Amino acid sequence: MTGRETRPRGHTLRSVLSAPTWPGTLERPLPRRRTGVDYDTTWSRTPAARLARAMIVDNVTRPFVRLVASPRVIGREKVDPLRGPAIFAVNHSSHLDTAIVVSSLPSRYRHHCVVAAASDYFFDRRWKGDLWSLTLGTIPMERTRVNRRSVDLAAELIDDGWSVVIFPEGGRTSDGWNREFHPGGAAYLAKRCAVPVVPVHLRGVRPILPKGGSRLRPGDVEVRFGAPLAPGIDGASGREEDARRFSTRIEQAVAALADEGETDWWSALRRAASGRTPDPRGPAASPWRRAWTLPESRRTRPSAPGEHAPTPW
């Protein structure tokens, strides 16, 4: 016996590689999340990232949009008087909507805006967050409820001079008809940050790439800008209208732009003035009835040559 302590082989290696023990009397901290609403987009607004995004938008995104959508931009002169940041509230029917809207904005907004994107879809993986934050300047936003973290981020960016593109419906339409606008998005941010909301309507995007579709079918798209809106004064109480009422007014403005695209400017203006703008959410009826009454510009095309679209009956 040499008196030297003997240890099992590999004891030292296991000690190095094994996780350290945690004292039982201390509370473990929660693991830091890096996806969803917790994804940090700060890096995407650094000078280097902004330069890269400007190159991508002008030399890749815009040529691609012209190739597949041939957008016709109407009413952009209504945005010209604006000097500060703004919120662009857009109807949502396709994943192409973001690229089309950003490509159609005046350059001073196109290169200084962020896009509020669904945190559970565009930021559920780190690589997806990296990709969309770099190419389109997206920030994570909860679409089913108001999340303090995401709303505070959007508000801070607006205060710093950034504009925001937001889809108040919270998701793409599944049948071509619009969904209800959420008051916790564009309306709330506009009231909190005292900035105007520009209603925007996209016409003809859904037939190119509908929800659930995987094949692009090039077509013609109209991007229609409306007059900027601001919260009004409630005549009954004398107070500024709340976010829900203002959200309804934004939704009505987008609906009037849709009506203008389907008919003409004067007819749509008269119907809006008399409160007779067609309901953008469609009739409360069976799926076949809703499909039958859907405007032609929102209907999807046959999936293959010679294949007919299903009839509503």
How far apart CA 123 and CA 133 sit, in angstroms, is 9
Average pLDDT over residues 45-52: 96
% of the chain exceeding 90 in pLDDT = 58
Q: Could you tell me the pLDDT band of residue 310, with boundaries at 50, 70 and 90?
A: very low
pLDDT of residue 13: 54
Q: Which segments of 203-293 does DSSP mark as H helices, in order? A: 243-262, 265-273, 287-293
Q: Give per-residue pLDDT as tens, 138-195.
A: 999 887 666 778 889 999 999 999 999 999 998 888 888 988 898 888 999 999 999 9
pLDDT of residue 215: 87
Q: Residue 188 is which amino acid?
A: Y
Q: Could you tell me the pLDDT band of residue 312, with boundaries at 50, 70 and 90?
A: very low
Closest by CA to 172, choosing from 265, 274, 93, 78, is 93
Name the residue with higher pLDDT: 250 or 38: 250
How far apart CA 58 and CA 48 sit, in angstroms, is 16
Place of tokens 């009397």: 25
Complete domains list, the chain, with CATH:
36-209+219-278 (3.40.1130.10)
Mean pLDDT of the chain: 85
pLDDT of residue 17: 57
Q: Which residues contact 119 (CB under 8 A, 6 or more apart)?
A: 36, 37, 39, 140, 141, 142, 143, 147, 150
- Highest-confidence segment of 25-29, 83-87, 305-309: 83-87
pLDDT of residue 35: 83
Q: Give per-residue pLDDT as tens, 162-178.
A: 999 999 998 888 888 98
Average pLDDT over residues 117-129: 90
